[in-house]
Amino acid sequence: MPRPAVSVVAPCYNEQDALPEFLRRVGAVLDGIGSSSEIVLVDDGSRDRTWDVLAEAAGRDRRIVAVRLMRNHGHQLALTAGLSVCRGERILIIDADLQDPPELLPDMMVLIDQGADVVYGQRRQREGESLFKRVTAAAFYRLIARLTDVQIPPDAGDFRLVTRRVLDLLLAMPERHRFIRGMVAWIGGRQVPLVYDRHARVAGESKYPIAKMVRFAADAITSFSVVPLMASMTIGWIMAALGFGFFIYSIVGWWGGHTLPGWTSLMAAVGLLGGMQFLMLGIIGAYLGRLYDQSKGRPLFMIRDIVGGPNGEPP
């Protein structure tokens, strides 16, 4: 079957309250564009009525494709599942909470028409977010910019419009611990920003508490940088030099017959060296753990149901 001109892909987790408004606004934008389109919505193991809302919407609108995963896989893998199902020539990646306005799609389409491969939304303001969230997000983007050679745009999430060529390259990457905005940046091509103001959620609460934010940052750093491994080697050499210096100091003191007043200093040295060793082992373990997960070769996600699509069948 011919591909739709544009696909809208959104992962959903406990978004039953936000989905009606999301579908209304996205539908209005696609109606205004006038081209063939589809909306791929992925239920990432929600615990509320998200799947019921999606299935009912797919029954009413043939543009909607509802995908239900077997369990909760997390935002990045749920998004990957939706991207693997969509068929459009251009693909808008967006969240269902409407913090990123779908009304920017026509402007993004114009930039693609002018030769861009990727148009990504770059946040100017972040409404409805705490000071802690804004500060940590800004620190994360600056940190990863220093740790990696890939030019990952600051203050840009997954909200973006990509061409089918870019999507095919993205889907060919087998990483399990996915950092999609970084993977898209790694692909290259002409990537153009579109500055906008991010709104507050229309309903529900953030699905990224502190623990998930930390895991997401760890996945991003370990996926695109070996600087922590190199730093662990450098710090290891420094600690080894300090340890050797303490050893020489002890030998010289013993040879000269001096009693070393050293319980406090000795314990401080042991604690410092031991702590740094465990820290470096933890960094190495993080990389090894990701290699172990990748080596098992399990599927990235498992789809339970697909409802909707052309003629009510899966795409």
The pLDDT, as a whole number, for residue 189 is 92
pLDDT averaged per 10 residues, the chain (length 315): 92 94 96 93 95 94 95 93 96 94 96 96 77 74 75 87 96 88 92 90 64 71 70 69 69 64 62 70 76 78 85 40
The HSE-up count of residue 38 (CA atoms within 13 Å, CB side) is 30
The pLDDT, as a whole number, for residue 314 is 38
Dist CA 97 CA 101 (whole Å): 9
pLDDT tens string 96-155 = 999 999 999 999 999 999 999 999 999 887 776 667 677 777 777 777 777 777 788 888
pLDDT tens string 258-272 = 655 665 566 566 766
Dist CA 161 CA 104 (whole Å): 10
Dist CA 144 CA 150 (whole Å): 9
- Nearest-Å Rg of the Cα atoms of the chain is 25
Helix, strand, coil tally for the chain in percent (to 5):
50, 15, 30
The pLDDT, as a whole number, for residue 313 is 40
The pLDDT, as a whole number, for residue 312 is 39
The HSE-up count of residue 213 (CA atoms within 13 Å, CB side) is 15
Q: What is the dihedral of CA 214, 216, 218, 224, to 10 degrees?
A: -150
Judging by DSSP bridges, how do beta strands 118-126 and 64-69 pair with one another? Answer: unpaired
Dist CA 90 CA 136 (whole Å): 32
Dist CA 24 CA 22 (whole Å): 5
Give residues with Cβ within 8 angstroms of 304, minimum separation 6: 68, 69, 70
Which amino acid, one-letter code, is at 150? V
Return the beta strands (E) in the chain as ranges: 6-12, 37-43, 64-69, 90-93, 118-126, 160-163, 191-198, 303-308
109-126 residues labelled b (16+ CB within 10 A) or e (exposed) = bebbeeebbbbbbbbeeb
